[in-house]
Amino acid sequence: MVVNNSNVANQAQNVTDYPNNNTFFLVWELNSQISPTILKTIFQRVCALVINLNHSVLNRFPNAKASVVMGIGHDAWRKLNLPSPLPKELKNFQTIRGDKHTAVATAADLHFHIRADERSLAYDMANEISLVMNEIGNCIVEVQGFRYWDSRSILGFVDGTENPHGPERDYFAVVSDADPRYAGGSYLFVQKYIHDLRAWNNLSIEAQEKVIGRSKAMDIEMSDNEKPSNSHSALANVGDNFKVVRDNMPFGSVSDNEMGTYFICYASTFSTVEKMLTNMFVGNPEGNYDRILDFSTAKTGSLFFAPSLTMLSELAG
């Protein structure tokens, strides 16, 4: 593969940063009762705040690997009267329904992905954004993710092993000059999964490994002869030319027994994500669905577009 991304002028937001120790995921809906003029004015403040926070934390805490990425949903793009035509593949995510499991679609307007090594810093950035966003919307999803051991999910397996590295991260996560108006942007897709840990932990380690398609201790992929065709690694990875950059994080409450994974990925084309989800939920071939879904239920599913920093500055006025 030849990796060539010439978006020097259209620098991406921090979509290719690696997972951090502490993460806030905030999903907002805009208040339909607010006038378009006020909505647009406050939104411009939000864009400026995202830029300001990224500059500030880089100067104040250069080693904290802290950042904020903002994504905008299809309906919000229309409500805010943002540039037209829209990014080529930005739409409202449509439910993907298999015989047994469903990738649900949930409405959402804005998404904020906040990372920091220090929990205090992540909290402060989330709070500053919320203080402004409360003027025009309601936070409908708040998930506080954390790093679990060596980047494992709560299921105990390493998450994100197939992530691209080096220049390939930009290649697979950032829109190219094929969509010049939106070059440097990224499609941002999220799902909140809840795990049935009781059922999962009743499986032997060998049975768990067959569900994932990798060894639990050392994260070694099974050979093609060993790996079940309905394993997660067999169905969630759709080929070397179709990758995304995942930044999944575990979350949960032990007392509520609600433990899960916040799936988040950045992609240069949303069609790649759709192909992956269809494989998982419908099956390949149809009916051969991803076995991990017997233990993980998708509660949300929303698509956004994270504009380049250049466009974000323009949106800030």
Distances (CA, A) of 309 to 47, 50, 290: 10, 10, 36
| Burial zone of 231 (CB within 10 Å; 0-12 exposed, 13-18 middle, 19+ buried) | buried
Map tokens 């006020």 to a residue.
38
How far is it, in rounded angstroms, from Cα 84 to Cα 107?
A: 21
Can you read off the two tokens belonging to residue 229? 């065709």
DSSP assignment of 271-285 equals: HHHHHHHHHHHTTTT
How far is it, in rounded angstroms, from Cα 167 to Cα 164?
A: 8
Contact between residue 273 and residue 165 where contact means Cβ atoms under 8 Å apart = no
Nearest to 303 by CA among 80, 54, 77: 77
Can you read off the two tokens belonging to residue 22? 């502490």
How far is it, in rounded angstroms, from Cα 188 to Cα 268?
A: 9
How far is it, in rounded angstroms, from Cα 273 to Cα 44?
A: 29
Catalytic positions: 159
